[in-house]
Amino acid sequence: MNSNNVTIYDVAREAGVSMATVSRVVNGNPNVKPTTRKKVQDAIDRLGYRPNAVARGLASKKTTTVGVIVPDISNIFFADLARGIEDVATMYKYNIILGNSDSSRDKEVHLLNTLLGKQVDGIIFMGGRLHEDLVEEFKKSPVPIVLAATLNQGYDLPAVNIDYEQAAYDATQMLINHGHDRVGFITGPLEQQINGEKKFAGYRRALEDAGLPFHDNDMILGNYTYASGLEAMQKMLQRDDCPKAIFAGTDEMALGVIHAIQDAGFSVPNDFEVVGHDNTRLATMIRPKLTTVVQPMYDIGAVAMRLLTKILNAEEIEEKNVVLPHRIERRDSLRQD
Amino acid sequence: MNSNNVTIYDVAREAGVSMATVSRVVNGNPNVKPTTRKKVQDAIDRLGYRPNAVARGLASKKTTTVGVIVPDISNIFFADLARGIEDVATMYKYNIILGNSDSSRDKEVHLLNTLLGKQVDGIIFMGGRLHEDLVEEFKKSPVPIVLAATLNQGYDLPAVNIDYEQAAYDATQMLINHGHDRVGFITGPLEQQINGEKKFAGYRRALEDAGLPFHDNDMILGNYTYASGLEAMQKMLQRDDCPKAIFAGTDEMALGVIHAIQDAGFSVPNDFEVVGHDNTRLATMIRPKLTTVVQPMYDIGAVAMRLLTKILNAEEIEEKNVVLPHRIERRDSLRQD
DNA sequence: CATGCGATATAAAACGTTTCCATTTGGAAA
DNA sequence: TTTCCAAATGGAAACGTTTTATATCGCATG
């Protein structure tokens, strides 16, 4: 570990110029004579100079680093988002500091403050719901914050989402159109706006528009996991009037649902039809392959990061509330039309 | 966005003490009279002071930030590792800057240099193989580097792994013990030491120990994905002498293998038996549930980060080359004994 | 041959901490 | 009281850049 303590001053001396000139060369400032530039560049190469980003950050008040807060990076869903963010960040020469919140209010607030302390230039946040304490912190933030796959509430932040209500409507309607007069709905906790207000609303609207009644017990809430999907479906299967069509709030839950059905000796899609949500890699790793609502997590991450760069560069922003298109990817868990 | 420009100097003035004293309070230095401490703490609260980590980093030459380089965070496998790293990092008050390399030498080198420029206190690296250019860079690193689930080569870095050779041996042997005289082996590219030297060697050793010959065409190489596992197995199924037991290098490939078998009208485990590798969440999301070698990615990440903190704190280190225990998780893709 | 002006280059002041060293304080011992 | 020492505090230099204000250079112009 030979340490690297060659500073801009050393380069300046080596090249016979001032620190300021070296700084200009390093930062690509055009006001440098080509011969000088070359002289400096050579000195840099010779000495193996690498600018100290921390000193740079202190002097310029920019760190070219953004903070990313997600509930849990080990979840394929957030991981995909993170990848989208990182790719665009790299493209614009930013790095990301990643933190897991486990959707805990305390961790979210703590993480936010840590990131601000580290002087990140901006933050991308993803979380199930926006606790008001957190919104208060957001309001005090000296740097811009962009929400990714997270609904705004109480404070108008830039955000990137799909239309969850319409997506749920489309999925439910598709099942209804296949002749079902009951559609089961298995999703995450209703306290999360995305379920309680969006998906649920879309589901009910589709029923209504088809003139179907809403049955309370056709909806079961889980915690997004495979196990909770499996369990929910097992419970539903015990009923005589069990719906033969299921819309699951996530792919992982949909996998659980399908396996519960198969374990009970039924066939998908012949006896039961299932539609998932998110179109994670899982969707094609099951038999039958899963029909699912496409929520383009990678794209959401990428667009959110791009939006953040625009804000940071004070570029023109046409719409700070971006709604990306969704669609339903038809696969084998649905019968052919 | 009300900016936050209250500095340590403002706090000092507000509390009627010197900057040095405020610094001591903030850093928990014991040499401060309780009454003074209180006075300063009050001023901090009143002003909403938040220390500037960048300035702190410049002055102290410590950033409490570590760099993490993984091939692709959107892969469940690396995501799990990252979570292990982050959890332990948080525990020790570090943050992580995460970067994706796509296993590209250029990106790895570039990322490494960016991280060093940002003055991270240490780095955790994961990658399929250690290109010699990268090793050269590692040698020049002013901060410690720890390898996670990555085999050392050419330079003796601290590393955390499992015994891949033995794990492959165990898996193959288990299949042989089930009465198979041929065992198919479907894994990633052999250039990667982990396949070419470790898993392959374990596989062969198991065959040898059982007095079985090695058939060249019983081994098919893919790229770790579901699709490549599916394809490999389809190819193998076309042969008359197709092995009825398969050891797959990753769970995702194993899923592909199982589906290929099922698509061809056979049953797992009755007609074919399959063992995977890694024990990702996928293993229980398939029917039959997958028997698989447990590679504890979360733990590897956690231990790697812990190891890094030990190095950073100059703590006693018993063994810088950690080999975590592995085991085989028996599930339904293997017949009962 | 002086003048003026853009293009380049320099010097030095920030940036907000930590840390080393010096100084003050307060109380116990003499 | 005085003396001494440890504990508590303060002052100021360092950390490695960017940036602003200022100076110099080179050259066309009159």
For B24-56, write each residue's pLDDT tens digit.
Answer: 999 999 889 999 999 999 999 999 999 999 999
Q: What is the pTM of this model?
A: 0.93
Pairing of strands B327-329, B291-294: antiparallel
B162 — phi, psi (to 5°)?
-110, 175
Q: How many Å from the CA of B323 to C1' of C15?
A: 46
Q: How many Å from the CA of A41 to C1' of C18?
A: 33
A45 — phi, psi (to 5°)?
-65, -45
B117 touches chain A (CB under 8 A): yes
Q: What is the pLDDT of residues B274-311, one digit of tens each?
A: 999 999 988 999 999 999 999 999 999 999 999 999 99
The beta-carbon neighbor of A50 closest among B79, B116, B143 is B116
Residue A153 has pLDDT above 50, yes or no: yes
* Structure confidence at residue B5 as a pLDDT band (50, 70, 90): confident
Query: Which pLDDT belongs to residue B209?
Result: 97
Residue A1 has pLDDT above 50, yes or no: no
A119 contacts on B by Cβ (under 8 Å): 52-54
Instruction: Return the residue in B4, B6, B8, B54 with the most chain A beta carbons within 10 A, the one to mutate for interface testing.
Output: B54
Beta-carbon contacts of B40 under 8 Å, excluding residues fewer than 6 positions away, are B11, B15, B17, B21, B22, B25, B32
Query: Which pLDDT belongs to residue A3?
Result: 43
Total residue length of chain B: 337
Q: How many Å from the CA of B314 to C1' of C28?
A: 39
What integer best gives the mean pLDDT of chain B?
94
A141 contacts on B by Cβ (under 8 Å): 1
Are A270 and A263 in contact, with CB atoms under 8 Å apart? no
Instruction: Give the percent of chain A with pLDDT over 70.
Output: 99
Integer Cα distance of B34 and B31 in angstroms: 9
Residue A177 has pLDDT above 80, yes or no: yes
Task: Cite the beta strand spans of chain A per DSSP E.
Answer: 65-70, 95-100, 122-125, 145-148, 159-162, 184-187, 219-221, 245-248, 273-278, 291-294, 321-324, 327-329
Q: Do A298 and B76 touch (CB under 8 A)?
A: no
Under 8 Å CB pairs connecting chains A and B tally to 148
Integer Cα distance of B268 and B258 in angstroms: 7
- Asked if residue A16 keeps its beta carbon closer than 7 A to nucleic acid strand C, the reply is yes
First to last CA, chain B: 66
Give the SS3 label for residue A337. coil
A83 contacts on B by Cβ (under 8 Å): 72-74, 100
Q: What is the pLDDT of residues A10-55, one digit of tens each?
A: 999 999 999 999 999 999 888 888 899 999 999 999 999 999 999 9
Q: What is the pLDDT of residues B273-282, one digit of tens each?
A: 999 999 998 8
Integer Cα distance of A124 and A141 in angstroms: 12
Are B207 and B214 in contact, with CB atoms under 8 Å apart? yes
Instruction: Give the percent of chain A with pLDDT over 90.
Output: 88
Of B124, B127, B123, B188, which is closest to residue B153 (Cα–Cα)? Answer: B127
Query: Which pLDDT belongs to residue B128?
Result: 84
The beta-carbon neighbor of A58 closest among B1, B54, B87 is B54
Are B152 and B130 in contact, with CB atoms under 8 Å apart? yes
Closest chain A residue by Cα to residue B110: A90
Residue B141 has pLDDT above 80, yes or no: yes
The beta-carbon neighbor of A117 closest among B51, B73, B76 is B51
Query: Which pLDDT belongs to residue B117?
Result: 97
B191 — phi, psi (to 5°)?
-60, -30
Beta-carbon contacts of A248 under 8 Å, excluding residues fewer than 6 positions away, are A186, A187, A229, A254, A256, A257, A274, A275, A276, A277
Residue B1 has pLDDT above 50, yes or no: no
Which residue approaches C20 most closely, CA to C1'? B20
Closest chain A residue by Cα to residue B298: A74
